[in-house]
Structure 1
Amino acid sequence: DPTSRFERYAESLGKGAYKEVFKAFDTEEGVEVAWNQLRIDHLVKRDAARIVKEIEILQSLRNDNIINLYHSWTAKDKDGRDKVFFITELMTSGTLKSYIRKTKGVVKPKVLKSWCRQILSGLHYLHTRDPPIIHRDLKCENVFINGNNGQAKIGDLGLAIVKERDHVSSVLGTPEFMAPELYDEKYDEKVDIYAFGMMVLEIVTKEYPYSECHNQAQIYKKVTSGIRPLALNKVPDDDVRFFIETCIQFDPRYRPTALQLLRHPFL
């Protein structure tokens, strides 16, 4: 990096089509961090500029329940390809998804409520920025757990979009967690509330919502017709089921805000 503050280790933490994450060392703070590198050479100039702008916005966020982004720069890699580099805090215990998979039996109510409160307070922070920031791809794989204190943080804000108009258009995300209005490309921050409800459903049932569907088209059909996932019938506790149903209502106007959910009697 241009400041020589961060030293990248050889150890790769994960690799996608355009993104790779390494462990690194912050020489100033004496802590390990995550070194993210994102290829942008395949994008048209406008999209590349948008990503750089989004990263700048993410860098301005500071909250206990969001993976904080400390530093970013653009540079060419060894092959001469344009890349965006950014340093985020390192979460050592993996994702909420891996946590649910590792633990046997039912997630205890106290733990469930603690996770819910933390995720909601992160969402409340994002949604109350000016303009609001919509995550758009909230799911258990994108929430990270700090194993030694149980802290939950929302990460992977890569799809997070700043809402400058009344509605944002472009369909991206994970079908099982996508609110019906996302398909119409007219949506606001309530899509995150819907996805949050689906996350809670996955935490308590330990199964992916709409696993009864065999492909994305079937999920699309059910979601846009207002047919709820079968997993909802497997939620034994009425209070939990009612809480989930409140979040995944078909009409976004009836879904509560993150702040209203934080004040919900269930929590």
Structure 2
Amino acid sequence: MVNLNPNPFDKDDEPFVEVDPTGRYGRYQDLLGAGAMKKVYRAFDQEEGIEIAWNQVKLRCFADNESMLDRIFAEVRLLRSLKNDNIISFYNWWTEEKGNTLNFITEVCTSGSLREYRKKHRHVSVKALKKWSRQILKGLEYLHTHEPCIIHRDLNCANVFMNGNTGQVKIGDLGLAAIVGKSHAAHSILGTPEFMAPELYEEEYTEMVDIYSFGLCLLEMVTLELPYMECDSIAKIYRKVTSGVRPLAMEKVKDLHVKAFIDKCLGKPRARPSASELLQDPFFDGLDDDQ
């Protein structure tokens, strides 16, 4: 039975702030994360008895852009169809006219983002970093070989999530994902500046922008600092990225094999290996096959 009306006399009862139209999902007040267009709350699936993430997108941001609204809903429908161990599962979605919001339910990872997890656990072996990296690449391989091809476009350590008790890594926050046809080409400038490939700024790019971002994710995992921290403005980041200047953090990578692997990911678009090719790289030799 769905608990829509918690007992006001029960101090241990955690009331829902909001429930979905079916009464299955209940949202709590706790905010897990927030972006320009989206807020993510802790929530509960009463049918399965599991914690979930309740995502809310304010549709009024696109009130005058019908094509963008159509695209958002098309992408939501597609994301619901994705099934991969290294991609956050998408369970359900609906709109709420009163607040003009799009709501969708996804799985929640127990240990938060990879960025938070890495900061919390500062002493991690190269082997563990390789295991996490391989799982990110498996998720990217799934997206890039999907029909149609999906480009994440905003891959960074804040959008990769951890289940710390199992070491499982999942790519999330596909809100900026681009679905592209056989040309594999996209044209919008979107993303997190520190992690954006140079060709993204030229508005003509392919899924290889995700490989570039992945390389910088690995750099952050190794050095515990954001790439291009030496820049104090987006304009300075742009100038360095578009002129091919590597982040200063690269100088802190002492393991030459790790450094060479990152460098491979940051090469010119046509020189970058695909996710499938990187998964076959000797860099991952000797790892167990479980993850």
Q: Which residue number in structure 2 is paired with residue 23 of structure 1?
A: 42
Q: Which residue number in structure 1 is paired with residue 17 of structure 2?
A: none
Residues 115 and 157 of structure 2 are in contact (CA less than 8 Å); yes or no, is this contact kept in structure 1?
yes
2:212, 2:205 → 1: CA distance? 11
1:217, 1:245 → 2: CA distance? 23
Q: Which residue number in structure 1 is paired with residue 33 of structure 2?
A: 14
Q: Which residue number in structure 2 is paired with residue 56 of structure 1?
A: 77
Structure 2 vs 1, CA of residues 218 and 16 (structure 1 numbering), >3 Å: closer, same or farther?
closer
Q: What's the CA shift for 1:165?
A: 5.9
* Residue number among 234, 245, 249 corresponding to 1:216 in the alignment: 234
2:228, 2:32 → 1: CA distance? 29
Q: Which residue number in structure 2 is paired with residue 136 of structure 1?
A: 153
Q: Which residue number in structure 1 is paired with residue 11 of structure 2?
A: none
Residues 115-264 of structure 1 aligned to structure 2 (within 5 Å): 115-164=132-181, 166=183, 167-249=185-267, 251-264=268-281
Residues 38-53 of structure 1 aligned to structure 2 (within 5 Å): 38-43=57-62, 44-53=65-74
2:28, 2:194 → 1: CA distance? 35
1:178, 1:264 → 2: CA distance? 23
Residue identity over aligned pairs, in percent, reads 55
2:33, 2:229 → 1: CA distance? 26
Which structure has more RCO (C-alpha within 8 Å, separation ≥ 6)? Answer: 1
Structure 2 vs 1, CA of residues 17 and 191 (structure 1 numbering), >3 Å: closer, same or farther?
closer
Q: What's the CA shift for 1:212?
A: 1.4
TM value normalised by structure 1: 0.94
Q: Which stretch has the larger CA shift, 10-19 or 23-32?
A: 10-19
Letter matched to residue 130 of structure 1? E
2:68, 2:91 → 1: CA distance? 22
Letter matched to residue 203 of structure 1? M
Q: What's the CA shift for 1:13?
A: 2.3
Q: Which stretch has the larger CA shift, 22-31 or 256-265?
A: 22-31
1:258, 1:228 → 2: CA distance? 21
Q: What's the CA shift for 1:47?
A: 1.3
Q: Matched residue of 1:254: which SS? A: coil
Q: Which residue number in structure 2 is paired with residue 4 of structure 1?
A: 23
2:210, 2:103 → 1: CA distance? 27
Residues 37 and 61 of structure 2 are in contact (CA less than 8 Å); yes or no, is this contact kept in structure 1?
no
2:140, 2:23 → 1: CA distance? 33
Q: Which residue number in structure 1 is paired with residue 130 of structure 2?
A: 113
2:252, 2:61 → 1: CA distance? 44
Residues 41 and 81 of structure 1 are in contact (CA less than 8 Å); yes or no, is this contact kept in structure 2?
no
Q: What's the CA shift for 1:196?
A: 0.3
Return 5+ residue gaps in structure 2 as ranges: 1-19, 285-291
Q: Matched residue of 2:158: which SS? A: helix
Is 1:66 equivalent to 2:87 in the alignment? yes
Is 1:85 equivalent to 2:103 in the alignment? yes
Q: What's the CA shift for 1:22?
A: 1.9
Letter matched to residue 154 of structure 1? I
2:111, 2:150 → 1: CA distance? 26
Q: What's the CA shift for 1:117?
A: 0.8
* Residue number among 50, 53, 65 corresponding to 1:34 in the alignment: 53
Q: Matched residue of 1:84: which SS? A: strand
Q: Matched residue of 2:60: which SS? A: coil
2:34, 2:254 → 1: CA distance? 38
Q: What's the CA shift for 1:156?
A: 0.5
Return 5+ residue gaps in structure 1 as ranges: none
1:112, 1:14 → 2: CA distance? 24
